[in-house]
A = this chain, B = another copy of it.
């Protein structure tokens, strides 16, 4: 998954929950700059930042062994 793709997931989820960038920034304790750039994939955020965002968007991250194509 590329950062750009992840950003879209975050943005979509934020919209579903009816949050603004500012609100999400306040909730997660980051800045709106970080949220905005993360959503657009022009940032390379740290794991901590991502986990924080996931928490308030009620998202969870999973890591699995990549499946081979059938």
How many chain copies does the complex carry? 2
Interface contact B3-A63, CB-CB below 8 Å: no
A63 in contact with B65 given A44-B47, A47-B44, A48-B3 (CB within 8 Å): no
Confirm or deny: A70 has a beta carbon within 8 angstroms of a beta carbon on chain B: no
Chain B residues in 8 Å Cβ range of A60: 1, 63-66
Chain B residues in 8 Å Cβ range of A62: 1, 61-64
Residues of A within 8 A of B (CB): 1-3, 6, 9, 13, 44-48, 50-51, 54, 58-66
Beyond contacts A44-B46, A46-B47, A60-B64: 5 other A-B pairs, Cβ-Cβ < 8 A, are A1-B60, A1-B63, A46-B46, A47-B50, A58-B66
